[in-house]
Amino acid sequence: MEKAVFDARYGAYRQAVETYLDGLFTKKTDWEDLYESMRYSLLAGGKRIRPVLTLEFARLAGMDWKGAVPVACALELVHTYSLIHDDLPCMDDDDLRRGKPTNHKVYGETLAVLAGDALQPEAYRLILTAPGLTADQRADCALILAQAAGADGMVGGQVLDTLHAPKTREELTEVHRLKTGAMIAGACKLGVAAAGGEDALRNAAEAYAYQLGMAFQIRDDMLDVVGDEATFGKPIGSDAEEGKVTFVDLLGLEGCTAAVRDCTERAKAAVAAYDADGFLSALADSLAERDQ
């Protein structure tokens, strides 16, 4: 796919997501500080990779992708909650996220925790009230998100990462399959589910997503060593300071580069039968080479 065509579609998806998110949590209440904290992290930028994937898979499943925007944004609410909580002193204790002070540095730990807490049920509200979807499609989407984000998905991966000190390649792979891959897989499957798509596409979406997630995480580990802090948006070398074992420790930078490329090619192969115009392939390549 030509870069200009890829950029135009990605930009359209991203703009639709940003516009929808900007319309959330704006009413005047006695708890406006909660809304302010939620919006601070929700509108902090980022690549919006997960909702973009939801919208593209909805399109591939035959849906007008605009109808899947509420579902795509629901997952972004859950992703944002996870970032707020991940940055807390009891977790990674980070001061910066996307180049800005983390939520708890601006609003305090109590409100940061509550903002994350609120974003979770609000995500399901978006799904369960999404216009244009049948009751079965809404239920299917809600279940996909719950499985991706829960104890057997993202949260399980966070437990392994923070409390079990993974040290081997197998252990790290399991951490990131759950912590990163599950939510990316959830995003891809949500698009198919919102459109009422076929099981074959859902299975291809899941296979693509897990390989994409692994490539994404290995590249993230590399950037924590060789990235530019201003570009990366958070401190470089934080994993080493915390004593975490990463893929760079196990494979070296050259080995990581090879692993990222292998996962990327596997991801592309998984959706080759559906990705006629090459958008998913171009997205995978762009993430493999990202610097932030």
Q: What is the pLDDT of residues 191-230, one digit of tens each?
A: 999 999 999 999 999 999 999 999 999 999 999 898 776 6
User: Which domain covers residue 21, as residue numbers?
Assistant: 3-288
Residue (of 93, 105, 104) closest to 235 by Cα position: 93
| Number of domains making up the chain | 1
What is the distance, to the nearest Å, from the Cα of residue 248 to the centroid of all Cα atoms in its chain? 22
Model pTM score: 0.94
Residue 190's nearest CA partner among 175, 171, 206, 179 is 206
Tokens of 176: 């990131």
Measured distance CA(138)–CA(131) in Å, rounded: 10
Determine the 3-state secondary structure of 105 from DSSP.
helix
Q: What is the pLDDT of residue 243?
A: 79
The CATH number that applies at residue 149 is 1.10.600.10
State residue 130 phi and psi, 5-degree precision. Answer: -65, 120
Classify each residue of 214-239 as buried b or exposed e, where b means 16 or more C-beta atoms within 10 Å of its C-beta.
Answer: bbbbbbbbbbbeebeeeebbbebeeb
Q: What is the pLDDT of residues 147-186, one digit of tens each?
A: 999 999 999 999 999 999 999 999 999 999 999 999 999 9
What percentage of the chain exceeds 70 in pLDDT? 96
Write out pLDDT tens, residues 28-39: 999 999 999 999
What mean pLDDT is predicted for residues 102-110? 98
Collapse the DSSP code of 262 into the 3-class scheme (helix H, G, I; strand E, B; otherwise coil) and give the result: helix
pLDDT of residue 99: 86
